[in-house]
Amino acid sequence: MDYRESIRHGDERLPVAVYDITPQHPRYHMHAHWHPELEILHVRRGRLRLLLSDVSYDLSAGDVMVLPGGAIHSGEPEECSYTCVLVNLRQLLGLGNDCIDLCRQILDGSLQLNCHPATGGVLARLCQQMLEFSLEKGPGYPFTIQGLIFCFFGRMLDTGLFTRIHREKRPAGSLADRIRPAIAYIEQNYNRNIRVADLAAQTGLSQNYFCRCFRLATGSVPLDYLTNYRMTKAKYALCNTNLSVTDVAMECGYNEASHFIRIFHKYVGMTPLQFRRTALREG
């Protein structure tokens, strides 16, 4: 998995993607990111501390949350396995059914699905079914997964897990909106030398104010976010390519392999080669 610019969740024919996240996954540690798709998150085991648009949630096994599209979020797992279901509601609008009006209300912000955890019950069971059917990928999967998603939304509405927002009360902007250009700049230029001044310039904010906004929205300072992003790219390359450690270092913005190895060990807890061997052994 990757960040917003380089991964597509689902396609025109099936605008849904289901991810099974375990400790072996390169994105197990959910560094701050965003995507336009709405996300359903289900914690199956362990705990997950989630930061969503500068609000922190402590999730445990059985908890389910709905994350609105465009919201910056991150998560720190503790012996955790969780499922992420990403849904492109705009493409679901083309299905031509009675759910169109409700989907439009979710998209335009007049109907806000509540983000607080819903523990156990039918929502958790529906999330578990989404994961199981996504792993099987039988011939009926497109029907099944879309049916489960509509059932999920239907149960949220039936049980009152939503808020109607009057147009004049909607917030005009957010921290996420302010720092999103800086995040896009990191994602496009992570293999180059990036200074805090470069990031602040993307937003039009002073450096000090930019750093405060960035930390509130993502839970980390800008350069730490950059390093975490580079480590995520490095882990993906180590798992999915035959590039040498030196080449991975260069691709991730490090001119010296020794410096890259030290940083990787600090953030990941093992050397790049140890990580590659562990990933290959655990499949």
Q: What is the pLDDT of residues 151-188, one digit of tens each?
A: 998 888 888 888 876 655 544 456 777 888 998 899 89
- The residues that bridge with 48 in the sheet, in sequence order, are 59, 77
Interval 38-61 mean pLDDT:
91
Q: What is the pLDDT of residues 98-137, one digit of tens each?
A: 567 777 777 767 777 877 787 778 999 999 999 999 999 9
Note the pLDDT of residue 172: 47
| Tokens linked to 30 | 């959910």
3-state secondary structure of 2: coil
Q: What is the pLDDT of residues 66-107, one digit of tens each?
A: 998 888 888 999 999 999 999 988 777 665 555 677 777 777
Q: What is the C-alpha separation between 142 and 158, in angstroms, rounded? A: 24
pTM: 0.73
In contact, 80 and 119? CB cutoff 8 Å: no
Which of 50, 72, 31 is closest to 213 using CA atoms? 72
Neighbours of 115 (CB within 10 A): 20
What domains appear along the chain, each with residue ranges and CATH number? 4-169 (2.60.120.280), 175-282 (1.10.10.60)
3-state secondary structure of 33: strand
Note the pLDDT of residue 63: 93
For CA atoms 59, 61, 64, 70, the dihedral sign is positive
Interval 54-68 mean pLDDT:
90
- pLDDT of residue 273 exceeding 80: yes
